[in-house]
Amino acid sequence: MSLLDEAAKAQVKAYAPYSNFRVGAAIRTEKGDIYTGVNVENAAYPEGTCAEAGAIAAMVLGGETKIAEVAVIGDSDDPVPPCGGCRQKLREFASPEVKVSMMSRTGKVLTMTVGELLPGAFTTEHMD
């Protein structure tokens, strides 16, 4: 199964009763393992979490911290890019060269790197 297929398989489990905008994310680690996540909304709207954050949490729980590839799918006519916060969260565990494939509900795919999505990222190097 492709990484986008993994994201699509997760997406159906999204909990998005407020926006009705379901998102699924999948991460392949350098070890080759796959972790998925979905958006989980909350009656207190800002407390909702993004699909990418869920996939990252699952990866960390699985004992891994090195992202090799990312896929995101959302209920949109155009490929859904990670939000600003998720770009930063992904950058924590992914080098700028890592590819992020984004897919629309119609199957349109856009692939960009983490570095393209978040140029000039703040990282631990700035704290040396």
Residues of this chain that interact with ligand THU (CB under 6 A) are 16, 19, 21, 23, 39, 41, 48, 50-52, 82-83, 86
Residues in a beta bridge with 17 = none
What is the greatest pairwise CA distance in the chain? 45
Taking the least distance from each CB to ligand THU, the nearer of 30 and 75 is: 75
Q: How far is the CB of 78 from ligand THU (least distance, A)?
A: 12
Report the residue number, 34 or 70, with the smaller CB distance to ligand THU: 70
Residue type, 21: F
- Is 52 marked active-site? yes
Please, what is the minimum distance in Å from the beta carbon of residue 103 to ligand THU? 13
- Of 52, 69, 116, 125, the catalytic one is 52
Nearer to ligand THU, 31 or 85 (CB): 85
CB of 11 to ligand THU, least distance (A): 10
Tell me the C-alpha distance between 110 and 115, whole Å. 15
For the beta sheet containing 109-113, the strands, ordered from the edge strand earlier in sequence to the opposite edge, are 34-38, 23-29, 67-74, 99-103, 109-113
- Six-digit token pair at 13? 């489990």
Tokens of 96: 């700028």
Task: Please list the active-site residues.
Answer: 52
